[in-house]
């Protein structure tokens, strides 16, 4: 009898050991257990590690600190690599998803799912690079994890700037030159030191597209620059533009300021979707708009303005004027945080109601009242 009991205890112990082994195997196979310290997905709003570059500086295992002034352009993150190899595509959320504008009252951008400082800017610790005004001339260059003190002038195709910070004292933070394409600026802070810029102390463009192709700017924290995102065609999504600083330009006049500006005559589509666009500058110091679609260099056409939080300017939105066509303005929230009517003089002006393909739908104030534009004069 005693022998049978010992045999039973032995079988039970063996069964318990086998169960533990199987459980550990299953956890290892399915990834359960301690979280991985792998790279942050480019499409993710948050990373496992401390965010926004405020954490401790990385060790020597961080991105390469190769001399950016070396011939042939910079060499961040090792040798230049194609964006398809180093950066997975990042698409803006579909309307109605990912915190798109709600239908009811909305007390603040962040509280209602619009971009703010928590959801924009770099997601990893950064390594300082005093580049000065640097030219990028190598196709496929990827700049990741850099705290850049200077500006980037891009003379190359398929350049990606991601999870970085740019503090510029130039006319721009990042500029794409004519004849080049494929620029992407993602999860990056772009700012400047007020009074240190070349335009009588001011700085003009955080991201400037001088080329004829689309530029993607997503999940970026942009401040100080007078005309922050300047382009006729591009994909601007999930950005936080704020704290624009007024300045007198070299002509002695107050520089006009806009969170997003397009001068017209564009050949491609400009999409402005799910951004927080704030222009706090007083009108008597040059404020134009949160989004300014102006026919300065040609007619405005093929623009989507969808699901944004807009505040400030003379008018929060300039709609392109009498010749504008293909302008779709949908589901935007006009905030009263600077002016009772969104902008100092109203929510919207220069809207061409009869223009082919122009659509105005679902736009409202932050407290839920519908916004209707007056016809363009």
pLDDT digit string, tens, across residues 234-245: 999 999 999 999
Q: For residue 59, list its beta bridge partners.
A: none
In this predicted structure, what is the pLDDT of residue 143?
A: 98
pLDDT in tens, 202-232: 999 999 999 888 999 999 999 999 999 999 9
Asked if the model's pLDDT at residue 314 lies above 90, the reply is yes
- pLDDT band for 28, please (50, 70, 90 cuts): very low
- Collapsing DSSP to helix, strand or coil, 361 comes out as strand
pTM: 0.77
Looking at residue 69, what DSSP letter applies? T
Model confidence at 182: pLDDT above 50:
yes
DSSP state, 79?
Answer: S
Residue 32 confidence (pLDDT): 30
Residue 244's alpha-carbon distances to 88, 110, 144, 269, in angstroms, are 31, 19, 25, 25
Distance, in Å, from the CA atom of 62 to the CA atom of 354, rounded to the nearest integer, reads 55
């Amino acid at each position: 009898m005693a022998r049978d009991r010992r045999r039973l205890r032995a079988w039970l112990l063996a069964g318990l050991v086998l169960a533990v082994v199987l459980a550990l195997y299953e956890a290892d196979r399915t990834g359960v257990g301690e979280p991985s310290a792998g790279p942050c997905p480019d499409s993710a709003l948050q990373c496992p590690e401390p965010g926004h570059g405020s954490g401790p500086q990385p060790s020597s295992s961080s991105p390469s600190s190769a001399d950016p002034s070396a011939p042939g352009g910079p060499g961040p993150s090792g040798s230049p690599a194609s964006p398809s190899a180093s950066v997975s595509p990042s698409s803006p959320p579909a309307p109605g998803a990912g915190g798109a504008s709600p239908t009811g009252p909305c007390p603040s951008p962040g509280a209602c799912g619009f971009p703010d400082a928590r959801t924009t800017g770099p997601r990893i610790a950064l390594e300082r690079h005093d580049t000065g005004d640097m030219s990028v001339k190598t196709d496929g260059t990827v700049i990741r994890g850099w705290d850049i003190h200077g500006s980037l002038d891009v003379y190359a195709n398929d350049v990606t700037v991601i999870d970085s910070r740019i503090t510029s004292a130039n006319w721009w933070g990042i500029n794409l030159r004519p004849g080049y394409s494929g620029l992407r600026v993602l999860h990056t802070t772009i700012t400047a030191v007020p009074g240190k810029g070349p335009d009588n102390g001011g700085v003009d463009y955080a991201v400037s597209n001088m080329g004829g192709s689309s530029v993607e700017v997503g999940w970026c924290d942009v401040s100080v620059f007078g005309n922050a995102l300047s382009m006729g065609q591009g994909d601007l999504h999930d950005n936080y533009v704020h704290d624009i600083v007024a300045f007198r330009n070299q002509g002695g006049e107050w520089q006009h300021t806009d969170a997003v500006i397009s001068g017209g005559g564009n050949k491609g589509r400009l999409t402005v979707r799910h951004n927080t666009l704030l222009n706090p500058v007083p009108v008597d110091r040059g404020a134009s708009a949160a989004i300014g679609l102006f026919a300065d260099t040609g007619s405005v056409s093929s623009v989507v303005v969808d699901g944004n939080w807009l505040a400030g300017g003379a008018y929060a939105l300039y709609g392109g004027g009498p010749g504008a066509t293909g302008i779709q303005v949908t589901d935007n929230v006009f905030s009263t945080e600077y002016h009772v009517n969104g902008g100092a003089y109203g929510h919207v002006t220069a809207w061409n109601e009869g223009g082919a393909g122009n659509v105005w739908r679902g736009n409202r104030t932050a407290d839920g009242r519908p916004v209707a534009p007056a016809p363009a004069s």
